[in-house]
Amino acid sequence: MSRFDLNPPSPDQRAVLEAGLTADERRVLLQHGTEAPFCGVFLDNKREGTYCCRLCGLPLFRSSAKFDSGTGWPSFFAPFDPAHITLIRDTSHGMIRVEEVCARCGSHLGHVFPDGPPPTYERHCLNSVSLSFVDANASLPDPLQRGDADTGSA
């Protein structure tokens, strides 16, 4: 069970959070789009810290789980907490994939594939615009003011 409040934002909170998104963030997070490969701001990020949901701030992945998959999108082999990710069968584009969305706000993050490195053999392939980054030992974002924004080093 997550130590973070996974209840969705209220309609008023959601409206405020969505108002702060760029057009590209809205297209990916809210309309399940995809950013072009090899252009995301976090693709080559090597800093230590935590990747969080761009919309609601929920921690999603630690930098220690990031690896270079060669696909053009930031890739991770394990989530911060499996309860923070919701997996959805995606049959769009004539193929079967597993979409990942934020378990708290439902924002589109990317897809997970069974071809990653050990120990999980998972490749969580994410859009940079779906994420925010918090440096190690800095406080995690708490845009919903729920008091669960400790440091990302946990």
pLDDT band at 154 (very low <50, low <70, confident <90, very high): very low
Q: What is the pLDDT of residue 150?
A: 62
One-letter amino acid of 33: G
Distance CA 53, CA 81 (A): 13
- Looking at the DSSP assignment, which residues form a beta bridge with residue 89? 98
97-102 β-sheet, strand order: 66-67, 75-76, 123-126, 108-113, 97-102, 85-90
Residue 93 has pLDDT above 50, yes or no: yes
Average of per-residue pLDDT values in the chain: 93
Clarify whether 125 is annotated catalytic. yes
| pTM, entire model | 0.92
Tokens of 44: 């080559």
| Structural domains of the chain, with CATH | 11-135 (2.170.150.20)
From 53, 56, 102, 125, active-site residue = 125
Kindly report, residue by residue over 4-59, the tens digit of the pLDDT.
Answer: 999 999 999 999 999 999 999 999 999 999 999 999 999 999 999 999 999 999 99
Going across the sheet that includes 59-62, the strands are: 59-62, 49-53, 131-135
